Amino acid sequence: MLNLLIVDDDKNIRRYLTAILSDAGYSVSCAECAQKALDIMENVKIDLIVLDIMLPDMDGYAFAELLRDCNNDIPILMLSAKQLPEDIKKGFLSGTDDYMTKPIDEAVMLLRIKALLRRAKIMSDRRLTIGSTILDYDTMTVKNSESRQPLPQKEFQLLYKLLSYPNKIFTRMQLMEDIWGPASDSTDATVSVHINRLRKRFENCTDFSIITVRGLGYKAHVEEELV
């Protein structure tokens, strides 16, 4: 069972979130301040933190920064009544992975938690499975029921990126910066060339397809039951 940690100084919110997360099948620990959260993390393996900003000892921004400065990459979902763009921006800059404003939509929160946990597992396993297709980051190979293909580094990284976020649209610029880096001399046409190569390689694959979204970019189309 996955362990989630709620860090919020409001006991009623802690009870409310505990009920929602427990019903969803998670094991839940609670802390009313950052120090208590750190104490819990010393004794319990926590898979994700649900973090408030307003805490009595250090605020949520500082707590997220502390974890990231210690190279702790645990997923953090920040929940706050602060709704101004600068507050949300500050949250992401402090190291949080996602940000929701209160009052929350319970269903959306659970979906976001599921997505954060899935991404964390992908990064730790360095392996991604979509249906019968397996991407192994360490060997940069793609294996399915028909073949096992080693891919060139950029092609593999591009496919891994798209399939890590199934059905999410990425612009050419986003993919260029993530895969080739912001200092690259390549143009966004390079992304199109690599996309076409991937389509040709996996044209017979039934687990996914790479779709062009006109005027926006690309996405990996994956049936919901395979995600």
Q: Calculate ∠ Cα 13-18-21, nearest 5°.
A: 125
CB 144 within 8 A of CB 205: yes
- What fold, for 3-124? Rossmann fold (3.40.50)
Amino acid 224: pLDDT: 67
Instruction: Name the residue with higher pLDDT: 203 or 178.
Output: 203
CATH number 3.40.50.300 given to 126-226 = no
Residue-wise pLDDT for 156-172, tens only, equals: 999 999 998 888 889 98
What pTM did the predictor assign?
0.63
Q: What is the β-pairing status of strands 98-101 and 3-7?
A: unpaired
Name the strand (E) or helix (H) holding 124: helix 106-125
Domain ranges of the chain: 3-124, 126-226
Q: In DSSP terms, which residues pair with 209 in a beta bridge?
A: 221
Residue-wise pLDDT for 182-209, tens only, equals: 667 778 789 999 999 999 999 989 999 9
Residue-wise pLDDT for 46-94, tens only, equals: 999 999 999 999 999 999 999 998 888 899 999 988 888 888 889 988 9
Q: Where are the alpha helices (DSSP H) in 126-219?
A: 153-164, 172-175, 189-201
Residue 135 has pLDDT above 90, yes or no: yes
Token pair 């991604």 in the structure block, residue:
128
